[in-house]
């Protein structure tokens, strides 16, 4: 798909037509975007800062790669993913974020690769899918991530995520979700997968488990850096 130059810049992204790499890493937090660029990229350049949603492009092991924040929730990531896929000709978006375990099998500190993502949202109706669409990642990106994880010796799990529209949700039985094979809950993966499918592009969510919804246990601050670094190594090597 050719860049729609007449739509660049967009109301939400001020970058130039060639400012983004083919692959964009997408954390939720704009400050996390800045941290990734400054700590993992070579020669990072700020290419977007509209509404404080920071986007950077640099190089990782010599290859051009970008990172830009998505904000929180399905509507926010759908907006940015749509513009990156359809106006900036981005081919791959890899979400890098946190998730809360809903399964006794998934421990705090685990790195998760989201093969699929169920949701309580009805955004697929707004996107015009003619069926009850089941959001799934790009097989090629997932295959690369699994291979890189094994190569690097990073402990990870592959499976289904639950994308919720509601952060403080007391209506869903999380124990039952876990018993049905759902690994963890987060707020963006299913929406990203749906936009990628609609755009004919590729998407993957890689998450670190920061807490357990079942027990209330939170990852200690001293462990977060290690887990985040493992997640980022996996995402960058996949990119």
Spatial contact of 26 and 67, defined as CB atoms under 8 Å apart: yes
Q: What is the pLDDT of residue 4?
A: 62
pTM for the structure as a whole: 0.94
Residue 91 confidence (pLDDT)? 98
On the question of pLDDT at 239 being above 80, the answer is yes
Q: What's the rounded mean pLDDT across residues 181-187?
A: 97
Alpha-carbon span 155 to 83, nearest angstrom: 33
Cβ 162 vs Cβ 121: under 8 Å: no
Reported as half-sphere exposure (CB side, CA atoms, 13 A), residue 53 has a value of: 20
> Quick one: CA dihedral 70, 87, 144, 161, positive or negative?
positive
pLDDT, tens only, 79-91:
999 999 999 999 9
Task: Tell whether the model's pLDDT for residue 48 goes beyond 70.
Answer: yes
Span between the terminal Cα atoms of the chain, in Å: 20
- 3-state SS of 218-237? ECCHHHHHHHHHHHHHHHHH
Cβ partners under 8 Å of residue 65, min gap 6: 21, 23, 24, 25, 41, 57, 58, 59, 236, 239
């Amino acid at each position: 798909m050719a860049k729609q130059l007449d739509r660049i810049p967009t109301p939400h992204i001020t970058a130039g037509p060639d400012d983004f790499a083919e692959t964009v890493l997408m954390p939720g937090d704009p400050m996390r975007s800045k941290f990734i660029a400054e700590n993992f990229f070579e020669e990072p350049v700020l290419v977007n800062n509209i509404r404080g949603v920071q986007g950077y492009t640099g190089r990782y092991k010599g290859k051009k790669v970008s990172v830009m924040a998505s904000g929180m929730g399905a509507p926010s990531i759908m907006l940015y993913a749509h513009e990156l896929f359809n106006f900036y000709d981005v081919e791959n978006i890899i979400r890098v974020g946190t998730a809360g375990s809903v399964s006794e099998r998934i421990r705090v500190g685990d790195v998760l690769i989201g093969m699929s993502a169920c949701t309580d949202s009805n955004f697929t109706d707004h996107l015009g899918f003619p069926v009850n669409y089941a959001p799934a990642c790009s097989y090629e990106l997932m295959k690369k991530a699994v291979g890189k994880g094994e190569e690097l010796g990073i402990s990870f799990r592959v499976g289904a995520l639950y994308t919720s529209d509601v952060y403080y949700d007391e209506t869903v039985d999380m124990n039952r979700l876990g018993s049905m094979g759902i690994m963890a809950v987060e707020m963006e993966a299913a929406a990203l997968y749906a936009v990628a499918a609609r755009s004919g592009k590729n998407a993957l969510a890689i998450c670190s488990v920061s807490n357990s919804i079942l027990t209330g246990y939170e990852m200690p601050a001293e462990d977060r850096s290690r887990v985040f670094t493992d997640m980022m190594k996996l995402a960058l090597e996949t990119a």
